[in-house]
Amino acid sequence: MITLPSSIHVFERGWLSSNNVLLLGRHDAALIDSGYISHAEQTLALVRHALPGRRLDRLYNTHLHSDHCGGNAILQAHYGCDTFVPAEEAEKVRHWDEEALTFKATGQQCERFRIDGVVQAGEVLTLGDMEWQALGAPGHHTHSLIYYCPQEKVLISADALWWNGFGVIFPELEGEDGFEEAGATLDLIDTLDVRVVIPGHGAMFEDIKGALGRARKRLAFLSADPVRNAEYAVKVMLKFVLLERQRIPLGDVAGILAGMSALATANARYLHRSDDELAAWAIKQLTRACAARLDGDYLLNDG
């Protein structure tokens, strides 16, 4: 059984929302990541339940994909908590540039929120009365941070490392470097003395060597042919929409995929399929993997 200090509370969420990590100090409380907007009310309820009679003082985002920051606005409205994002993302948030923040590119939503400060890679923060190192973790997201507590040997790994892989390498979809950066992030994690990993999605785990081995094997497979990463992105992003909506008319799938500029760019660069061909392929892949099922003229979430 995995044990954590009493000051660390992990809310393991479904795959539509990132996990949330609440760090309780004697005098303040901080949350790392806030989930997706569809679950914002649930996020607030979880935090309120864990903080009876207390306020949430600070909120941090490992990166600004909307499944990690979609609950920011509701938490700010309720608690007035100070909010901190990776330094390179600050101006995008201040000007609320949804293109630069990739919300439009991925077909996702995020209610506008404010920021009160930034976190630089290499910075040391006191959260839950413990020191945490903020470490740069590019690959899945160019400006992602992970948080490491040497005292307790706990790593909050965001989408840089899961039990079985990592998040889509989004920079590669637009022809930018991502595979090499993801590999360097895995190497960085391998240098840390880690007892417990709290990933961005999925359950906590202790076998970090096993997870790193699986991640490196996955990265080698994807980087050997960038088409594989593009196809993975198509499947993941359609599944995300299904998780949110639960059912989609089959006739809408082509338009949904084409409306995500990140996928449109990846399709033009790597896949070279028409909108209808890409939709048919994605539907087939999800149903074959039992991640979705057909019901008449609808694609339904499954698995």
What pLDDT does 283 receive? 97
Which stretches of the chain score pLDDT less than 70? none
What pLDDT does 192 receive? 98
Q: What is the CA radius of gyration of the chain?
A: 19
User: What pLDDT digit, counting tens, does each position of 74-113 carry?
Assistant: 999 999 999 999 999 999 999 999 989 999 888 899 999 9
User: What pLDDT digit, counting tens, does each position of 257-300 carry?
Assistant: 999 999 999 999 999 999 999 999 999 999 999 999 999 999 99
241, two tokens: 């929409």
What pLDDT does 37 receive? 97
In order of start, what are the domains of the chain with their CATH numbers? 8-223 (3.60.15.10), 226-301 (1.10.10)
Q: How far apart are CA 286 and CA 89, in angstroms?
A: 33
What pLDDT does 105 receive? 85
Model-wide pTM > 0.85: yes
Q: How far apart are CA 211 and CA 206, in angstroms?
A: 9
Question: What is the residue whose two structure tokens read 């009310």?
Answer: 41
Q: What's the mean per-residue pLDDT of the chain?
A: 96
| Identity at 286, one-letter amino acid code | L
